[in-house]
Amino acid sequence: MAISVEEALGLVYKHTLPLGTEIKPIENSIHRILAEVITATHSLPSFDNSAMDGYAVRVENAGKTLKQSCVVFAGDQEDIRLVENECIRIMTGAKIPQGCEAIVPIEEVIIQDDQITFPSVIKPSQHIRLKGEDIQAGITLIEAGTLLCAHHISLLASQGITHVRLYRRPKVALFASGNELKMYYESLGANQLYNTNTPTFAARAQELGCDVIFAGTAEDTLESIQEHIKRSLNADLIITSGGVSVGDADFTKEAFSSFGFQSAFESVDIKPGKPTTFGSIGTTMILNLPGNPLAAALCFELFGQSAILALSGRSDKYLAPLSTRISKPFTMKKGRRSLIPGWFDGTHFTPSQKFGPGMVMPLSQANAFMMVDANVEAFKSEDEIKIIPTRWCMSSDQQNSLITY
């Protein structure tokens, strides 16, 4: 019996656990998942310093003309004290002299030789960057499970951190089955097709931060499928397509069962993609997707992406929809949860004009899809909907409803 999308995703998250960890230099950690909590070891700034090129003064010197006593540069080590009735020329980033209460930018003063005339109003602490105003020592900077981006590297470098502990990149093995399938670099025979699913899964898995193993295309025989499974069992996740629909030769199910396959689910109440199955052989997760290209690609976005995010150790492993509005009226046949590809332009979503489970073109022209409840049969222009992106990842640390009702 087919289970709901919510139940299927719940089982994916339940059975798919984060991988082991490794230590890498911070310059090699971009787009990797942090496996430790990063705590600030020192404050930033680590001392009071000037935010402007200007003059260090006391507030009481507003409107006065003072003599410049010296110049302080960023990086100077000597402690300088501000003397009464004098000012100090100071550069951006330089340590604030003792006794200084404010910095007056150079463009706000009048300079005549070494005599500096100040404006009539000087505010306390103006243009002074205080110790710890950005980062206080001891605070949490980055939580474990965070996808590291360029600006996280800034934080790590600011603390003098050279290496971090990361979750290992998921290793994904891919193969398709079918006597009619050929890879794009092979010659087609009569009544044969190019295998588009495996290259698609490989590209998406790489986009999601995985290392990919291509195990080849299996023939529709028990022995061939078993051989491809055997080649793939060193992976964290095996994704196959084809051989799981009603009417297909039962070799795929039999082949996986011969390796001790433990099923989590074998059918999902969704259109297209009902025969999607998920389970495990030992510590290797298994996702069997339909053979039809559009059905396989859309189900990869739901179930393959979810499994990869969970394996990766991300704290925001749950898919998250984007709320928007539909651009024009749209009708559909109700009765089952349906996946509708289309284009999101930043304000509205336009469903693809023509799409079917066996097509390749629609998803190449789409950047998102919506999952519509079984009871919906029509939308009016500007109706509010939820979409799931296919060209970038929207995710959350809490599981959300993905369905448009």
For residue range 134-165, what is the model confidence (pLDDT) as tens digits? Answer: 999 999 999 999 999 999 999 999 999 999 99
Q: 234 and 284 share a domain?
A: yes
Q: Number of structural domains, the chain?
A: 4
Q: Where are the beta strands (DSSP E) in 119-231?
A: 128-129, 140-142, 163-167, 171-177, 181-182, 193-194, 211-218
| 252 close to 277: Cβ distance less than 8 angstroms | no
Residue 386 belongs to domain with CATH number: 2.40.340.10
- pLDDT of 169 reads 98
Per-residue pLDDT of 250-287, as tens digits, reads 688 899 999 999 999 999 999 999 999 999 999 999 99
Question: Residue 180 is part of a domain; what is its CATH number?
Answer: 3.40.980.10
Model confidence band, residue 186 (pLDDT cutoffs 50, 70, 90): confident
The CATH number given to whatever domain includes residue 81 is 2.170.190.11
Residue 179 has pLDDT above 80, yes or no: no
Query: Which pLDDT belongs to residue 195?
Result: 84
Of residues 14 and 251, more confidence is placed in 14
Burial class (CB in 10 A: 0-12, 13-18, 19+), 1: exposed
Both 85 and 108 in a single domain? yes
pLDDT at 244 over 80: no
Residues 75-82 have a mean pLDDT of 94
Q: What DSSP string describes 45-84?
A: SSS-EESSSEEEE-GGGTT-EEEEEEEE-TT--S--BPPT
- Regarding whether 162 and 29 lie in a shared domain, the answer is yes
My answer on whether 213 and 337 are in the same domain is: no
Q: How far is CA 198 from the centre of its chain?
A: 22
Claim to verify: residue 75 and residue 90 sit in the same structural domain: yes
Average pLDDT on 1-24 reads 96
Residue 219: predicted pLDDT: 86
Q: What is the percent of the chain with per-residue pLDDT over 70, rounded to a whole number?
A: 98
Claim to verify: residue 273 and residue 335 sit in the same structural domain? no
Domain shared by 345 and 302, yes or no: no
- The closest of 213, 209, 203, 161 to 33, measured between CA atoms, is 209
40-57: average pLDDT:
97
* Residues 6+ positions from 28 with CB-CB distance below 8 Å: none
* Cα Rg of the chain, angstroms: 30
CATH number of the domain that 142 lies in? 3.90.105.10
Q: Are residues 188 and 53 in the same domain?
A: no
Contact 365, 343 (CB under 8 A): yes
Domain co-membership, 302 together with 259: yes
pLDDT (tens digit per residue) in 199-241: 999 999 999 999 999 998 888 889 999 999 999 999 999 999 9
Angstrom distance (rounded) from CA 342 to CA 101: 59
Q: What is the residue-averaged pLDDT of the chain?
A: 94
Confidence (pLDDT) at 245? 56
How is residue 178 written in tokens?
């079918």
Give pLDDT, residue 247. Answer: 54
Which amino acid is located at 163 in the chain? H
Give residue 184's pLDDT. Answer: 77
> Which pLDDT value is given to residue 225?
94
Distance, CA of 388 to CA of 371 (rounded, Å)? 8
Instruction: Out of 283, 311, 339, pick the residue that ends a domain.
Output: 311
Question: Cα separation of 282 and 169, whole Å?
Answer: 19
* pLDDT tens sequence across 328-341: 999 999 999 999 99
The structure tokens 């507003």 sit at 62
Average pLDDT of span 49-68: 97
Place of tokens 């505010």: 123
> Which of 251, 282, 311 is the C-terminal boundary of a domain?
311
Q: Cα(358)–Cα(197) distance, rounded to whole angstroms? A: 11
Q: What was the pLDDT predicted at 289?
A: 95
Residue 22's contacts (CB-CB under 8 Å, 6 or more residues apart) are 165, 166, 168
Does residue 159 sit in the same domain as residue 180? no
pLDDT band for 246, please (50, 70, 90 cuts): low
Q: Which helix (H) or strand (E) holds 232?
A: helix 222-232
Residues 190 and 372: their CA atoms lie apart, in Å, by 38
Clarify whether residues 59 and 150 are in a common domain.
no
**What are the tokens at 299?**
């189900």
What predicted TM-score, i.e. pTM, was given to this entire model?
Answer: 0.89
Q: Is 327 left (phi over 0), alpha (psi -120 to 50) or beta?
A: alpha
Give me the domain span that covers residue 161. 22-44+138-167
**Within 13 Å and on the Cβ side, how many CA atoms surround 136?**
3
- Identify the DSSP state of 243: S
The answer on 360 and 228 residing in a single domain is no
